[in-house]
Structure 1
Amino acid sequence: MIDKAFVGRVLPRFEVLAECGAVSAFLRATAAPGCQAAQEGSQLPPTYLFCLEMQGPDPAAMRKLLGIDIGRVLHGEELFVYHAPAHVGDLLAFEPRIADIYDKRAGELEFVVRETRVWRGETAIATLRNTTVVRNG
């Protein structure tokens, strides 16, 4: 069982630049209608903040901290709450924390909820919630 004492634990803050080339590749890969190349200052696609979060120094930091075997992991859900738009060329700060840990089916499934606040300077951009499901059966 994952130790619920980790609830509330804040992971290291990091910054990522929303680079034009990477955003353009994302747009092509997701076949965004009418948009094949990003331009400096254009608004980021709605789910792109998750891609930026995965560019942090250690995308597996939470999983390592909690001792979770990647072979038992399922993607649960994601939720994006936007407070302000983010743009190509923005330097964004990500502040992840473990928001909740709970189980179902007598521990056969464990759920870890990571909540990440995203900032551009002093401006709150978004709150990302990601639920990881761990199979124990």
Structure 2
Amino acid sequence: MAIDKVHIGRETGTQTLLVSHSRLRLFAKATGQTDPVYTDLDAAKAAGHPDLPVPPTFFFAVSLETADPFTWLTDLGVDLRTVLHGEQEFGYHRVAHAGDELTATARITDVYAKRGGALEFLVTATSITDQHGLPVADAIGTTVIRRPAEVTA
């Protein structure tokens, strides 16, 4: 069943994450960061940071900081076995660092289909703020849903 455009504007959830040194080091390792500024406090301070900086793509992880980060999709009737991460982009306001508490609030901004409904696209916009409510980054993500042939025929 196609996703109704009535869901445009719907919030998909708010998650909060305290950024720790260990989380940043693990993320840097997992993403192949070789710059010591992301893993070594002395290197970060030598580069002018007050603490370990948050790598640019880390903000995607904030949205996943919940026991079931895909509940909003299943609530829309989406079979998670048909989901692909289609696209991600970020806009940055300032650098976040270890010790910051980041809050991500996401909402659906577009729903559309291609290939006669065989592919549906959900676009979400996520605002990421720090513990003071100041903007840190914005993320726009596109989720692609494959629809079985019998649904679109």
TM-score, scaled to structure 1: 0.91
Which residues of structure 1 form unaligned runs of 5+?
A: none
Percent of matched pairs sharing the same residue: 35
Partner residue of 1:13?
14
CA distance in 2 between counterparts of 1:104 and 1:133 reads: 10
What is the correspondence of 1:1-137 to structure 2 with a 5 Å cutoff?
A: 1-35=2-36, 37=39, 39=41, 41-120=51-130, 121-137=132-148
Q: CA RMSD in A?
A: 1.6
Bigger drift between 31-40 and 102-111 goes to 31-40
- Structure 1 ranges of 4+ moved more than 4 A: none
Higher helix fraction: Structure 1 or Structure 2? 2
Change (3 A) 1:14 1:52: closer
Quick check: which has more Rg, 1 or 2? Answer: 2
Q: TM-score, normalised by structure 2?
A: 0.82
One-letter identity of the residue aligned with 1:28: K
- Shifted more, 66-75 versus 27-36: the winner is 27-36
Offset of residue 42 of structure 1: 1.9
Q: Which runs of 5+ in 2 are unaligned?
A: 42-49, 149-153
